[in-house]
Amino acid sequence: MTLKEIGFSLGRYRPAARTSAGYSNNLKVFGYRYEAYPTLQKVNHFARVQSQSDPGHTWSVGIYFEGVPFSNEPTEHGIPVNPTDKGRVDKNSLYYIEPASYNTTKVKIYCACPDSQFSFEYQNYIAGANPDRYGYRPYTRKTVPIPTRPRNPRNPNTAIDPVTGKKGRDFVNPKNYSGHCKHIYSFVNYLISSGLVSMV
C-alpha cells in the first residue's frame, strides 16, 4: 500500500480522523534516524512521537519505504544518505535518494501505541503494510467470552461472561480497514516537512 491508500482506508474506518484533535495537530517528533539499503532499494525512517494523553511518554514509530531508487551521483532533488548495508556496499560512499512519494511509493508502517496495536496492526499486516519488524503476534483475547458478530439471536448470551456477568468488548475494526494512528500521522508530516516525502 501507499501512504495515500492507507490514509484513504483510515478515512473510511474513522471518518473524523482528519478533523479530530488527535489528527489535526502534529505531535512532537524526537530522535529521528534512518536506515538506507541501496541493494534492497529500501529506506526505513524511525523516531519517537510524543503521546497526546501522556506528554511525558513517547511511542516508537517506523515508516519503511520500498522500491526506492539509489544513485551514486548527486541529482537535482537527491538526498544524500549513508548506506546501512553491512558488507554489501562501500559504507564510505554516499548515495542519493529521491523523496519518497506519498501517492506511489510502497510503504510499511509501525507504531508501538495501543491504537496501532489494537486497531490496525493485524489489518495492516494482512494488507502487506506492516513491517513485521518485531514479529507479528496474533491477538489473543484475555477476557471471556468472545462476543458474536453478528450476534446470534438464538443464543444472545454468548457475549456475557458467565462468571462476572459482564459483556465482552466488541471487536475493533471488524471490517479490517488498514489505517494509522496519530503518531504515524505526525511522523509522516515530519517527513514531508523535512523533504523526505513528497506529495507528488
Instruction: Look at residue 193 and give its three-state secondary structure.
Output: helix
Nearer to Zn ion by Cβ, of 60 and 198: the residue is: 60
Cβ closest to Zn ion, residue 58 vs residue 105: 58
Q: State the minimum distance, in angstroms, from the CB of residue 50 to Zn ion.
A: 10
CA-CA distance, 96 to 160, in Å (whole number)? 58
Which residue among 10, 113, 188, 196 contacts Zn ion (CB under 5 A)? 113
Nearer to Zn ion, 105 or 116 (CB): 116
Query: Which grid cell is 52?
Result: 497526546
Yes or no: say if 145 and 170 are a contact pair by the CB < 8 Å rule.
no
Q: Which of 183, 186, 188, 190 binds Zn ion (CB under 5 A)?
A: 183
Per-residue x/- track, 29-68, Zn ion (CB under 5 A): ------------------------------x---------
Q: How many CB atoms lie within 10 A of CB 189?
A: 14
C-beta of 59 vs 177, nearer to Zn ion: 59
Asked whether position 116 contacts Zn ion by CB under 5 A, the answer is yes
> Which residue from 36, 47, 111, 197 is in contact with Zn ion, where contact means CB under 5 A?
111
The phi, psi pair for 175, rounded to 5°, reads -85, 5
Contact 122, 174 (CB under 8 A): no
Instruction: State the nearest-atom distance from the C-beta of 114 to Zn ion, in Å.
Output: 8
**Considering the complex, what minimum distance in angstroms separates the CB of residue 3 from Zn ion?**
15
b/e per residue, 144-162, with b = 16+ CB within 10 A? eeeeeeeeeeeeeeebeee
Residues lying near Zn ion in the complex (CB under 5 A) are found at 59, 111, 113, 116, 181, 183
